[in-house]
Copies of this chain bind each other. A is one copy, B any other.
C-alpha cells in the first residue's frame, strides 16, 4: 500500500510535493486526552513485516522511561511497531513511569499480535507528571483497531506539542533499479539543543537495509542535521530518532559496501536536514530561520564550537529578531566558544554582505540590515585559519518564546 498525504505548511513556505510514504507501513491515531481533551495525542506506526530498526537518543543524564526502554530494546536491531504519545514526557516519573511504559507496550503488542520485543514506545510533553493510564489504556484497543485509517501526516500532527505545523518529508531513491521511499516525521519547537537526536523523529523506509548499516547511516545523518540545530540550548530528556526499514521493496539488503549505500545515505542526509530545518523554522516564537556557517576553521570541531556558540547566543538571537546587524555579538560568541582562531583575521557576512573585514567593521551595517528583513538569513564567519566547515541552524529569540514558555503548563 502506498499512501500520499499533503502536508500543511505555513503560508510563507514553499509548498512541497505531496509526501509519498513507503510501502508496508500503516498508521493510526486516537484521542486519549493525555494533557487535555480535543486532539489526537496517541499514535501508532506499524510495519506489515518485521523490520530492521536503529535509533539515536538524548545524551541527557535524566532520561525519560520510554528512552531507557528503547535504548535497551534497540540492541536487537529488530522492530515492527512504535507507539507514541504527546502531552506527557513520562520523564522523572520513577519506577511507576517504567511500569506504565511497559504496560502500554504489552497491551499494544497483544492487540497487534506481535512479539513484545518488536514494540517500541516514545513520549513527549510535560516532565514529571505521571502518565494518565486510566485514559491511555482504554484508547489502545481503538488505536490498534483503526490501523490503516490514518496517514503519516496524521502521525506528524499527533506528536506535536508547541509545534505550529506538522513536520514531514520524504525522498525517493533508486536502489537496484527499484524505486524505494524514505519518509520521516518529527516534532520540535522547544528544548532543542545539540548533542542529542531531536525531540522525536520517526523515519520509515521500504528499502531493505542491514541493521548495523542502518544504525551507521542514521548516526551519520543525525550528526549533521538534528545535532546541529538549536532553538533554546536546552537538551531534552526524551530526544529520540528511530528509523525502521521493512524491506518490502524487495531489494537485496543494503550494507556499507553496497553500491546503493551512498545513494541511501545521501537521501537520508537530505531528509533529516529537511526535517531539522522544519524544526528550527517552527522554533518557539521564531520569526526567522538562520543558518550559521563557520568556514576555514582549523578543524570541524572548531567550526562546530564557534557555530554552536553563535547559534545559542541570546544576544545574537535577539539582535537578529530586531534586524540589527550587531556583528560584535557574533565576534564575542565566537570568542567564548573555545574555537581556535584569530579575531584579526576573521570575516563575517550577512548573506553576501560583508560586515566584518579582518576583525573590524566594514561599514556595511546598513546593507546588512536590509538583508535581515527577510524570513531567512545566512551568517557566514570565515576564520581564515584552516579548511574545515560546520553549519548550524538556529532561529531568532522573540517575546513569543517567553510567552510560550512562561505559560507552557498552564
Contacts and interface: CB of A to CB of B under 8 A. Distances in A.
Residue of A236, A313, A405, A408 with highest tally of chain B CB at under 10 A: A405
B91 A328 contact: yes
Contacts of A322: 405-408, 410
A324 B406 contact: yes
B402 A402 contact: yes
Interface string A382-410: 00000000000000011101110111111
Interface string A355-367: 0101111000000
A116 to B, nearest CB: 25
Contacts of A344: 94
Interface in A331-353: 331-336, 338, 341, 343-344
B405 A127 contact: no
Residue of A91, A234, A314, A344 with highest tally of chain B CB at under 10 A: A314
A234 B329 contact: yes
A324 B398 CA distance: 20
B406 A237 contact: no
Nearest to A314: B232
A65 B326 CA distance: 19
A303 to B, nearest CB: 15
A5 interface: no
B234 A341 contact: no
A233 interface: yes
A59 interface: yes
A234 B315 contact: yes
A353 B398 CA distance: 32
B319 A128 contact: no
Contacts of A332: 60, 62, 91, 127, 191, 234-237
B315 A232 contact: yes
Interface in A176-214: 190-191, 193, 195
Nearest to A403: B399
Given A94-B360, A315-B232, A405-B315, A128 B331 contact: yes
A321 interface: yes
A115 B369 CA distance: 45
Nearest to A334: B62
A129 interface: yes
Interface in A74-107: 89, 91-94, 96
A13 interface: no
Interface in A106-139: 126-130
15 contacts: A59-B336, A60-B332, A61-B335, A91-B331, A92-B343, A92-B361, A94-B359, A127-B326, A127-B332, A233-B314, A234-B332, A235-B336, A322-B410, A399-B402, A399-B403
